[in-house]
Chains A and B, each alone.
Chain A
Amino acid sequence: MMEIHKDIEIVDLFLHLKRFNSLVIGDVHIGYEEALNKQGILIPRFQFKDTLKRFEKAVKGKKFDSIILLGDVKHEFGTISETEWRNTLQFIDTLSEYTKKIYLIKGNHDKVLEPIAEKRNLEVVDNVKLDDIFLLHGHIIPEENEDYKKAKIIIIGHEHPAISITDNLKTETYKCFIKGKFKGKILIVVPSFNLVTQGTDISKEDLLSPFLDQNLDNFEVFIVEDKIYNFGKIKNLRGK
């Protein structure tokens, strides 16, 4: 565990908002392997089992006032397969064992999330406001939203941040949280909870989120592996 900001703690790949005892989970992309199967890539499926295992290990023995899913719970855009349907429900049921309140924030992959949400009596929302914290998926900036305007801390998913570390001999990529500023507000980006891929390498790839359409040199990097490693500012990771 490590604080990324006052009262906001990193717990494995998740954020714990201490003031609200709320757990924040990034993009899960349930059905990622199945989608690859449909494209003719015959990857055997481990994702869903691994996801449940990792989650339970990280939060064992805890209870939360709420759990917030930052969007893209499932992977497929337009359709929903039977396995995806079943796994998504099972995932939500597992979360329910740790909380009474689940917020499902709508992501850009979540076009048909509503039927699943209805099945478990959950509401799909565009964003969540907890005092001065504003949580959303992050594919668009809600310029007109009053809560957003007033918020001091923005928490998004969507980008799947990861970073490659190199010593000029070898390069490895790790999932990471990044924290910086966006128009005077604190911006925290949560890594994906998709265990099949690391995510987008923020040190070299072109980024998607409009929140990250800026110079990231002064963003801080927190890598998640066996524990949390604070690597300081991104610019420190550039060549020697």
Chain B
Amino acid sequence: MSKPSIDSQSVLLERVLFSARPLWLIIFALLTVFLGWQASQVRPEASFTKMIPTEHEFIQNYFKYQNDLASLGNVVRIAVETTEGDIFTAKFQETLQQITDEVFFIPGVDRSGLKSIWTPNVRWSEVTEEGFVGGPVIPDNWDASEESLVQLRTNVLRSGEVGNLVANNFKSALIIVPLNEINPDTGEALNYQQFSQQLEERIRNKYQDDTIKIHITGFAKVIGDLIDGANQVGMFFVIAIVITFIMLFWYSRCWRSSFAVLICSFIAVIWQLGIIKLIGSGINPYSMLVPFLVFAIGVSHGVQIINAISNNSVDGASKIDAARLAFRSLYIAGLTALISDAIGFTTLMVINIEVIQELAIAASIGVAVVVLTNLGLLPIAMSYIGVSKQGTDYTQRARTKNHRLLGFFENFTKPKWAYTAIVIGLVGLSWGLYYGQQMKIGDLDAGAPELRPDSRYNLDNQFIVDNYSSSTDIFVVMAETAPSQCIAYDNLELLDRFSWHMENTPGVQDVKSVVYVAKMGSFGLNEGNLKWFSLNRNQYVLNANTARTPPGLVNADCSMAPIIIYLNDHKAETLQTVVAAVEAFNQQYQQDGLELLMAAGNSGIEAATNSVIAAAQTKMTIWVYSVVIALCLLSFRSIRTVTCIILPLMLTTIMSQGLMAVLDIGIKVATLPVIALGVGIGVDYGIYIYAKLKEGLEQGMNLDEGYRFALANTGKAVGFTGLTLAIGVATWIFSPIKFQADMGILLTFMFLWNMLGAMILIPSLARLFANFSRKRNV
């Protein structure tokens, strides 16, 4: 190759970059310091409202009554279990009393609502000829004696708290801890993480021993555990960096360039975090994936650069010329790939859930930053430090040696190999299509689906579900009336039928509301005569019967009464059945002044999320593919080329749906973005390979030679990129947060499979099309 002056063929971008290298280094350094300072202030957060589709009708209804419903849901349950005998021992009762007292003083606890058999608001009652008699469950003359314990047992049985505050098997007792979302003294919002820590320190660590076991559940605990889990992700990041560095060095055998790539990629992460802090966005357990992705994308593009620089150095170019030539040969492919990533991510914006949108913004920013750091900073830096002697020697040796693995991939332009690969691809496609039909929407595991099924939280939750009459899957319908009409007879009567309608809906365990309170009140106030378990048309009677309504079952001005529907589980079918049942009832019974609005409660919100996700899934897939296809068409201007690049991607998308079904991973907030990320990044491989293949073909090579040329120039780098990206996200598989693990599994699969698809199916398809058109032309 003759060598004209390096400047004569340079492009504008290159001249801008390389004519003022020191200035650029200073600008990059200053920006890094500033953004690093910003990034250091980013803290993981887990905001509930960001995880839900706020525009959905259900959520709008829920927001309308959010304050009224607060006291209903935000409760922590602490089960104190004894492993010896039952709870009616002096030692156990002493412990239970101590724990109740301790909980009372934890900041954030609504003290007036605190309930255990040791709080004075828990009473037994009995009907006598004169009326009600009753008292606190703990006998007035409690002295921990045998008689006191016998009396306590009698009182507990009379109190109706078996299954509520006392386990059905009498081996544990519950403390129900309602929380104040806003501290009434200071006006500050409750810090869930702090609260959760206090529960661990002051309750579990202090009282759990050989005979006493503590189980804690509740929304506050889930959020606390989620943030704790998210903090562990920091460690995964360090692991990912170390593994990546080892791989980089193994690939380049050059300390200098390995460090340069690593540092530039790390700078990209710092910038990305700094910018999201600047634009007022935060980092949540979902968008936490983004730094990993940015780092991995940075490394994979960095590798392409140092690969080229090393090759140029072997050819005898100076440090600066090697860097310039590398930039010149790669910036178009690099830009196309990165722009398609960035635009691919922005398609996630069509989903109206804030965490996904934050993830989309963060990822797009991250990729944009990679353009600057790894296509801009990295070549400049390399123009100063250059590739070490050791590195160029290695490249030289590698060049002369025929790479066995690359040799394997070269086979796929041969018709026999190509058709076999396509048949195997079709088998994979059928597998994906078959199992993909069984793919479910929503969360499939019991308990808190955010955490792993065997996490301590979910084991605690299972314990409470098993031993107490309560379900943790709650769907709330809000009965909206005119002010002060929530317990009007006409409304209650229709709500009673609604309750019965819902109770007979498959998947529903139980229904509770102010109607139940009214009927129980009538039963109780009429001497415990079950024949009075009904509603009365007389409003004074109804008022009396509902006088003891627990807080939360009617709102302050009595214009809304929640109907609480306890479900067997929160599977998508169950939720759909429930929603359909409510809609059917609303269709059939329409009463002036009464609206039955869906939905609150964890299951109600999940129903809304599922419906948004289900609608968004197809929309997003169409969007991301349209964008990627359009970009490929723009840069290659050939339908055949684009087909070669896109078909392997589609195979991966379809197979990953089959994988989700097989692994019981549902489509949810966490896994929906994965499809877009997988396609957006997966297309890079195809772009790099096809760009080189095309270059070869244009130089007059046949398909076999052209692909060998492409593999020799970029094959190693593409293989390396796939592995780096996969490793970056694979560490997530070990996250204590279930959805992060799910994201990790799926992304690892997609990155590896897309890489293999590009290296095997692109040549195979190219062969198929070439043969096909030749036959037609004959």
Decide whether A and B are members of one complex: no
